[in-house]
């Protein structure tokens, strides 16, 4: 009688059945967990800990691996049938007591997606090869006893040496704080968190915070995931002392269900917030993102965030939230470093935001940011019951300003320049010849010399294609007439463009490599330094101005006067007080063939020749001071002052 037929008594027949999993679900469980070989090997490390092993060793080659431990292993055939054959088995209360990691009974299968494996434990051997035999495996009994457990894996796809190294790096990071020694290719890669220094230690976790980087979370010593520093406003490391609720793949925390993590993250958030409030140094990008996120989520009041510099303009400068709230009009640049955006901002047509500010507040447009800040800044006047918004800025699309500012930059012929501009350009071209030598000294790197061309632009002071030329806006050439400071500004502008290895005509972005190169080049204090190039260029400028009949400002001549006095006094006392010299440790090895040739530093202007000495015994000889005679204190002090001024002129930029 079928279940859906009525029996003579008018009652339905029923029975209880159990839902079972088909082989396709098992295959899916094996392959869907297996993200990387490193993660699969980590499962074997966790199994060793659960088996009570005192240590675990892994040897990884390009074609396979071996895992060995001294844990309990499988001592009876019933254990193999119950715990090896079945995926997703019920551990039971007694099993839960001694297991640190195992909850799902699936982890050991991750490696099966990458390799055929042979397991040896006690008197048994299990041979698994799902690519050739599917879900069937070979079980051997009555073999010589193997202490603990040994797993030999043969990879289905051998790795390249670089891939092997990547797996090794991943595995080192994954098991950093595992409580037992993990020996990877002969090197112990795990360490006890109890032996480390931490900022905070609670009953739940060890916590160490850092200004930058991700926040790495270790579940009982095993890396679970990394949170962006924006999530908590800090980077660092968290190692839990208690189990965390994690997903099946063990690569995320079940935040809504994990009470331990709720307690841990409360400590992290509190510490990060307090540090942000009291921090004297500028906020990091992650801290700015964290403050903005908490403001958006309602976890931080407007008054608490008002003094934080979490608004970034198109030039990269950061502003206090309260200051930005007082701006009447703002817009958003099409991209970070937008030349046209910088021009609109500098001309004060509108306050131009960098797009990263939108990302920080989790919005996609200026309209959304305006609405968001109006909402979070709203307060109620208790006396009158009226509602006010502290933020009253008005957003205008950037396209509104696009026609007001031209982004056209062009190189112009030298014939269009005036006399002073031509002389300044000539001095810069001479200085440019020495930039390859400067980069050789600083970075041991050969770079080609670039042509220096005059140009016109409403947006750019200078620009380059990153290889062949640097264009200087003709408006900048007037700086040469301002003496040392003006010429130094032009030389550093050249240095800036030389540090760009790609075109910066449309976008003016600066990465870490640019900042490192610019810092090293501008702080270098040897031959061909920025200070030396500035003096050389200014000397050329002054000389050529005289030849061309171009009037020179008093400020420019002050430099020449100080340099001349310093040179003369240097000759008088036999000490060199200026110039650009290579000496001692500052002199690098000669470059190889084809590298830029190190040129001699420009000589200081020569002092006038000393008059001939009078004949011995003459009146002049008696009245004149001897070679050993000392100048008067006043004269000595005047000489020191002149030398000091000359030295300050030469070194002012480097300071």
Q: What confidence tier does 593 reach under pLDDT thresholds 50, 70, 90? A: very low
Structure tokens given for 223: 């890396």
Residue 383's pLDDT is what? 60
d(CA 208, CA 200): 7
Looking at per-residue pLDDT, the higher value among 270 and 593 belongs to: 270
112-122: average pLDDT = 95
CA within 13 Å, CB half, 345: 21
512-524: average pLDDT = 88
Q: What confidence tier does 99 reach under pLDDT thresholds 50, 70, 90? A: low
Q: Is 444 helix (H, G, I), strand (E, B) or coil?
A: coil
d(CA 1, CA 253): 50
d(CA 473, CA 120): 76
Q: What confidence tier does 185 reach under pLDDT thresholds 50, 70, 90? A: very high
- Return the closest-CA partner of residue 439 out of 322, 524, 551: 524
Looking at per-residue pLDDT, the higher value among 576 and 247 belongs to: 247
Pairing of strands 351-353, 329-332: parallel
445-457: average pLDDT = 90
Is residue 582 predicted with pLDDT exceeding 60? no
**SS3 for 28-52, per residue?**
HHHHHHCCCHHHHHHHHHHHHHHCC
For the chain, the average pLDDT equals 81
Q: Which residues pair with 183 in a beta bridge?
A: 57, 188
Residue 592's pLDDT is what? 41
Q: Which of 124-138, 268-282, 337-351 has the highest mean pLDDT?
A: 124-138
Contacts of 53-56 with CB under 8 Å at 24 or more apart are 53/148, 53/180, 54/180, 54/181, 55/180, 55/181, 55/182, 55/183, 56/180, 56/181, 56/182, 56/183
Residue 381's pLDDT is what? 55
- Return the closest-CA partner of residue 428 out of 491, 500, 492: 491
Q: Tell me: the pLDDT tens digits for 525-541? A: 887 899 999 999 999 99
d(CA 470, CA 489): 15
Q: Tell me: the pLDDT tens digits for 5-18? A: 555 555 678 887 77
The answer to whether residues 449 and 435 touch, using CB atoms and an 8 Å cutoff, is: yes
Burial (CB count within 10 angstroms: exposed 0-12, middle 13-18, buried 19+), residue 645: middle
Contacts of 640 (CB under 8 A, 6+ apart): none
Is residue 445 predicted with pLDDT exceeding 90? no
Residue 85's pLDDT is what? 82
Q: Tokens 């300050």 map to which residue? A: 648
Least confident range from 322-331, 344-353, 594-603: namely 594-603
Residue 7's pLDDT is what? 56
579-602: average pLDDT = 38
d(CA 200, CA 194): 12
d(CA 190, CA 418): 70
d(CA 35, CA 33): 6
Strand segments (E) across 253-404? 309-312, 318-320, 329-332, 351-353, 378-381, 386-389, 394-395
Residue 403's pLDDT is what? 65
d(CA 242, CA 77): 33
Ramachandran region of residue 257, left (φ > 0), alpha (ψ -120 to 50) or beta? Answer: alpha
Q: Which of 180-194, 249-263, 604-618 has the highest mean pLDDT?
A: 180-194
Residue 624's pLDDT is what? 34
Cα angle, residue 266 at apex, residues 262 and 270 outer, rounded to 5°: 170
Looking at per-residue pLDDT, the higher value among 538 and 578 belongs to: 538
d(CA 117, CA 41): 12
- Return the closest-CA partner of residue 537 out of 568, 567, 559: 559
d(CA 565, CA 642): 6
Maximal C-alpha separation, the chain: 156
Residue 26's pLDDT is what? 77
Contacts of 292 (CB under 8 A, 6+ apart): 305, 310, 360, 361, 362
d(CA 115, CA 130): 9
Residue 591's pLDDT is what? 42
Is residue 647 predicted with pLDDT exceeding 60? no
Residue 537's pLDDT is what? 93
Q: Tokens 């220094």 map to which residue? A: 197
DSSP at 441: H
Q: Tell me: the pLDDT tens digits for 601-630? A: 333 333 333 333 333 333 333 333 333 333
100-120: average pLDDT = 84
DSSP-based helix, strand, coil % in the chain, nearest 5: 40, 20, 40
Looking at per-residue pLDDT, the higher value among 203 and 278 belongs to: 203
Looking at per-residue pLDDT, the higher value among 569 and 438 belongs to: 438
Is residue 645 predicted with pLDDT exceeding 50? no
Residue 158's pLDDT is what? 97
DSSP at 253: B
Structure tokens given for 456: 């016109």
533-559: average pLDDT = 87
30-43 CB burial, b ≥16 within 10 A, e <16:
beebbeebbbbbbb
Is residue 89 predicted with pLDDT exceeding 50? yes
Output Rg (C-alpha) for the chain, integer angstroms.
37
Question: What percent of the chain shows pLDDT beyond 90?
Answer: 46
Looking at per-residue pLDDT, the higher value among 387 and 377 belongs to: 377
Q: What is the helix (H) or strand (E) element at residue 26, kind and residue range?
A: helix 23-33
**SS3 for 609-639, per residue?**
CCCCCCCCCCHHHHHCCCCCCCCCHHHHHHH
Q: Tell me: the pLDDT tens digits for 137-170? A: 999 999 999 999 999 999 999 999 999 999 999 9
d(CA 483, CA 556): 4
Residue 631's pLDDT is what? 40
Q: What is the dihedral of CA 393, 397, 402, 405, to 10 degrees?
A: 0
Residue 203's pLDDT is what? 97
Alpha helices per DSSP H over 319-361: 321-325, 339-346, 355-360
Structure tokens given for 283: 């906020």
Is residue 283 predicted with pLDDT exceeding 90? no
Q: What confidence tier does 112 reach under pLDDT thresholds 50, 70, 90? A: very high
Q: Tell me: the pLDDT tens digits for 207-246? A: 999 887 899 999 999 999 999 888 888 899 999 999 999 9
- Return the closest-CA partner of residue 56 out of 222, 189, 182: 182
- Return the closest-CA partner of residue 505 out of 300, 340, 384: 340
Is residue 579 predicted with pLDDT exceeding 50? no
d(CA 383, CA 524): 63
Q: Tell me: the pLDDT tens digits for 35-78? A: 899 999 999 999 999 999 999 999 999 999 999 999 998 889 98
DSSP at 111: G
542-549: average pLDDT = 90
CA 423 to the chain's CA centroid: 42
């Amino acid at each position: 009688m079928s279940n859906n037929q009525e029996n003579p008594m008018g009652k339905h027949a029923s029975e209880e059945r159990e839902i079972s999993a088909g082989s396709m679900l098992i295959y899916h469980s094996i392959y869907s967990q297996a993200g990387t070989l490193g993660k699969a090997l980590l499962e074997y490390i966790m199994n060793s800990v659960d088996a009570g092993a005192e240590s675990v060793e892994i040897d990884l080659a390009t074609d396979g691996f071996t895992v060995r431990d001294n844990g309990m292993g499988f001592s009876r055939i019933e254990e193999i049938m119950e715990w090896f054959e079945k995926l997703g088995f019920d551990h039971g209360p007694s099993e839960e007591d001694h297991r640190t990691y195992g909850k799902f009974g699936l982890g050991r299968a991750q490696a099966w997606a990458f390799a055929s494996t042979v397991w040896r434990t006690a008197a048994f051997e299990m041979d698994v090869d799902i690519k050739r035999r599917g879900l069937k495996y070979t079980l051997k009994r009555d073999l010589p006893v193997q202490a603990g457990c040994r797993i030999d894996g043969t990879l289905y796809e051998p790795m390249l040496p670089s891939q092997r190294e990547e797996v090794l790096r991943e595995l080192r990071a994954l098991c950093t704080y595992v409580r037992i020694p993990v020996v990877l290719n002969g090197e112990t890669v795990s360490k006890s968190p109890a032996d480390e220094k931490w900022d905070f230690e609670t009953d739940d976790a060890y916590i160490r915070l850092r200004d930058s980087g991700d926040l790495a979370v270790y579940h009982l010593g095993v890396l679970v995931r990394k949170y962006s520093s924006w999530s908590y406003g800090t980077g660092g490391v968290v190692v839990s002392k208690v189990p965390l609720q994690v997903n099946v793949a063990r690569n995320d925390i079940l935040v809504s269900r994990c009470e331990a993590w709720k307690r841990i993250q409360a400590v992290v958030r509190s510490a990060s917030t307090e540090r942000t409030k009291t921090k004297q140094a500028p906020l990091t990008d992650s801290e700015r993102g964290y403050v903005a996120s908490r403001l958006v989520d309602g976890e931080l009041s407007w008054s608490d965030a008002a003094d934080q510099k979490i608004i970034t303009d198109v030039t990269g400068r950061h502003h206090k939230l309260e200051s930005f709230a007082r701006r009447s009009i703002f817009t958003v640049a099409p991209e970070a470093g937008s030349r046209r955006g910088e021009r609109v901002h500098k001309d004060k047509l509108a306050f131009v935001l960098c797009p990263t500010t939108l990302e920080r507040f989790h919005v996609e447009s200026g309209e959304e940011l305006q609405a968001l800040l109006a909402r979070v800044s709203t307060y109620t006047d208790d006396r009158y019951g009226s509602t006010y918004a502290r933020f009253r800025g008005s957003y205008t699309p950037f396209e509104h300003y696009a026609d007001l500012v031209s982004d056209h930059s062009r190189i112009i012929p030298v014939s269009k320049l005036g006399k002073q501009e031509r002389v300044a350009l000539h001095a810069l071209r001479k200085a440019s010849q020495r930039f390859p030598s400067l980069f050789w000294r600083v970075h041991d790197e050969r770079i080609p010399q670039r042509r220096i061309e005059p140009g016109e632009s409403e947006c750019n002071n200078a620009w380059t294609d990153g290889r062949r030329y640097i264009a200087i806006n003709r408006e900048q050439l007037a700086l040469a007439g301002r003496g040392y400071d003006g010429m130094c500004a032009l030389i550093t502008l050249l240095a800036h463009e030389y540090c760009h290895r790609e075109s910066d005509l449309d976008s003016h972005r600066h990465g870490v490599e640019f900042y490192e190169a610019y810092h090293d080049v501008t702080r270098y204090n040897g031959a061909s330094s920025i200070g030396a190039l500035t003096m050389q260029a200014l000397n050329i400028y002054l000389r050529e101005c005289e030849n061309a009949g171009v009037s020179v400002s008093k400020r420019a001549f002050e430099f020449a006067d100080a340099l001349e006095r310093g040179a003369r006094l240097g000759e008088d006392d036999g000490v060199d007080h200026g110039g650009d010299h290579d000496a001692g440790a500052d002199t690098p090895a000669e470059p190889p063939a084809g590298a830029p040739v190190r040129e001699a530093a420009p000589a200081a202007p020569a002092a006038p020749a000393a008059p001939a000495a009078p004949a011995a015994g003459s009146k002049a000889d008696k009245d004149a001071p001897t070679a050993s005679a000392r100048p008067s204190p006043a004269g000595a002090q005047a000489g020191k002052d002149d030398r000091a001024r000359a030295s300050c002129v030469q070194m002012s930029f480097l300071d």
